[in-house]
Amino acid sequence: MDNSEKAKILRELGGMDEAVYDGLVKDMLGELPGQIAEIKEFFNQNNFESVKRVAHCIHGTAANFRVYSIQRVAASLEDAVKTSKGKDDIRSKIGELEKVIREFTI
């Protein structure tokens, strides 16, 4: 995330202090590995409703903090489950979500 993008986000969030925002986003990022593990476990159990539920939580949290890259991919995973695009597509979306999370920097 570049400085101009972050400045815009902070304005959208009512002038939130940058250190507070960074702390909240870091907390969110700290939760994601556990959520990805849950998604993988549910996927392996063919429990796609739970995959969708966790993806929806990630989607919503990322949206609240304007972390659009993670939001978009989580929404894409959620959509793949909703529209029953098949296990290969869902598996691919899980991989994309892991990648975008790994690559995200504040």
Please write the tens of the pLDDT for every residue from 14-25. Answer: 999 999 999 999
Residues 6+ apart with CB under 8 A from 93: 73, 76, 77, 80
Q: Where residue 106 falls among pLDDT bands split at 50, 70, 90?
A: confident
pTM for the full predicted model: 0.92
| Mean pLDDT confidence for 53-82 | 97
Q: Where residue 103 falls among pLDDT bands split at 50, 70, 90?
A: very high
Tell me whether residue 16 is exposed, middle or buried, using C-beta atoms within 10 angstroms of its C-beta: 0 to 12, 13 to 18, 19 or more: middle
Which domains, from first to last, does the chain contain? 3-103 (1.20.120.160)
3-class DSSP assignment, residue 16 = coil
DSSP letter (8 states) at residue 94: H
- State the chain's mean pLDDT as an integer: 95
pLDDT greater at residue 2 or residue 82: 82
Q: Where residue 2 falls among pLDDT bands split at 50, 70, 90?
A: confident
